[in-house]
Amino acid sequence: MKAIVSGGGSGGHIFPAVAIANAIKKRWPDAEILFVGAEGRMEMEKVPAAGYDIKGLPIAGLQRQLTPSNIVKNLQLPFKMMKSNRMVKEILRDFNPDIVVGVGGFASEPTLKAASRMGYPTLLQEQNSYAGLTNKILARNARTICVAYDGMERFFPKEKIVFTGNPVRADIEQMNCTREEGCSAFGLDPTGKVILSVGGSLGARTINQMIINHLHFFRENKIQILWQTGRWMYEEAKRAVEQAGVGQWVKVHQFISRMDQAYAAADIVISRAGAIAISELCLVGKPVVLIPSPNVAEDHQTKNALALVDRGAAIMVRDSDCDNQTLPIVKELLASPERQTSMKDAIAKMAVRGAADKIVDQIAKIVK
């Protein structure tokens, strides 16, 4: 069994990709697995840390803010695409996979297009409730499209769709960590209220800035916050907490690798509405305030969030309202155990377990 898994750019693509690779290894212990990602992106660090080989393509996305440096980057894109196309053909010929799996991200488009043209079977894993243009194009030649939301025949051929859910990290799906263990891991008081704020693996400027603007809120209300800032605002956040003298209440982390412990510690979660974040939140069954990113294709995070809001499983705050609405909503929610319980029950009903194994079932059908 030889498989190529392609995609990345953020944890929302990388963690499902690794979960699928792990499930392939569980099914075929002697399987050979190669990842194809984008140079300079998170997958080039996280995939080798998970024990897999990866090849990097010099591909990048279109820069929408037209600064002088971004204009130069955009002018380089056609050359990067041509080089990536040449490289991926060589990778496919050398590795000769039985299956090529695309999970989204910069590298998946050239990899799956080349694989289809060269006659290799492809499987597409669509994580969101609203499919982007790239995946709609890739779906034309994919053998199977694994989805996590109902109604995806709006975007893909119905006969190719299989509902599997989104693969998540095994420690979150199994979730055997207690609240006390989670609080202990991050220096939190288990007898007090705890908010977890995560803006995705790369961070979320709007959410981070909101917390910086209202650091006094946590001390005044005796509420603890476990805060994953991402790489770009970590130093700024750390300085702000030190200057405000709220280190007892605000625990700052650039990246949290043990999210099972973080979820276990939390009473309420503030999060972006990426597909994998939502899949994790459904599995752990926590009340959540979702703040969809406005900087994504087709505003798909808002559509992801509304899929929960419509079922009473989450509260949504627009990115533009984040600064003045989020913390009052959180305070009100903490004061209402009944509302928390109803949200927990509603979100837990949306959980899908064993997604990676279901995807490997489809891979087995294709390669058979």
Please give the structure tokens belonging to residue 9: 């750019």
**Shortest CA distance to 191 belongs to which of 202, 180, 200, 181?**
180
The pLDDT tens digits along the chain (368 residues) read 999 999 877 767 888 999 999 999 999 999 999 999 999 888 999 899 999 999 999 987 776 677 887 787 778 788 888 999 999 999 999 999 999 999 988 889 999 999 999 999 999 999 888 887 788 889 999 999 999 988 899 999 999 999 999 998 888 988 889 999 999 999 999 999 999 999 765 568 899 999 999 999 999 999 999 999 988 899 999 999 999 999 999 999 998 989 999 999 999 999 999 888 899 999 999 999 999 998 876 788 998 899 899 999 999 999 999 999 999 999 999 999 999 999 999 999 999 999 999 999 999 999 98
Q: What is the pLDDT of residue 129?
A: 82
For 133, other C-beta atoms within 10 Å of its C-beta total 11
Residue among 67, 41, 68, 46 at smallest CA distance from 56: 41
The reported pLDDT for the residue numbered 203 is 60
pLDDT at residue 329, as a whole number: 97
Q: Which of 49, 21, 20, 53 is nearest to 36 (CA)?
A: 53
Residue 124, helix vs strand vs coil = strand
What number of other Cβ atoms are within 10 A of residue 196's Cβ? Answer: 26
pLDDT of residue 11: 66
For residues 127 and 148, the answer to whether their CB atoms sit within 8 Å is yes
| Beta pairing partners, 56 | 37
Enumerate the β-bridge partners of residue 317: none
Of 270, 275, 179, 192, nearest to 227 by C-alpha is 270
d(CA 172, CA 174): 5
How far apart CA 102 and CA 109 sit, in angstroms, is 8
The identity of residue 127, as a single letter, is Q
Q: Compute the distance between CA of residue 26 and CA of residue 29 in angstroms, rounded to an integer.
A: 6
Place of tokens 């043990």: 258
Instruction: List pLDDT tens digits, range 192-247.
Output: 999 999 976 556 889 999 999 999 999 999 999 999 998 889 999 999 999 999 99
Residue carrying structure tokens 């990602």: 37
Kindly provide the b/e burial profile for residues 55-89, where b requires at least 16 CB atoms within 10 angstroms of the residue's own CB: bbbebbeeeeeeeeeeeeeeeeeeebbeebbebbb
- Terminal Cα distance for the chain, rounded: 11
Structure tokens at 106: 């910069």
Strand partners, 228: 198, 253
pLDDT in tens, 115-137: 999 999 999 999 888 887 788 88
Answer yes or no: are the C-beta atoms of 140 and 160 closer than 8 Å: no
Q: What is the DSSP letter of 80?
A: H
pLDDT for position 25: 97
Distance from chain centroid for Cα 326: 21
Classify strands 250-253 and 53-57 as parallel, antiparallel or unpaired.
Answer: unpaired
Q: Is 178 helix (H, G, I), strand (E, B) or coil?
A: coil
State residue 207's pLDDT score: 95
Please name the residues in contact with 96: beta carbons below 8 A apart, sequence gap of 6 or more: 2
At 142 the three-state DSSP class reads: coil
Distance, CA of 312 to CA of 330 (rounded, Å): 16
For residue 346, the one-letter residue type is A
Q: Which residues contact 321 (CB under 8 A, 6 or more apart)?
A: none
How many angstroms separate the CA atoms of 306 and 312, rounded? 10
Residue with tokens 């025949």: 153
Residues 273, 300: Cα–Cα separation, whole Å: 9
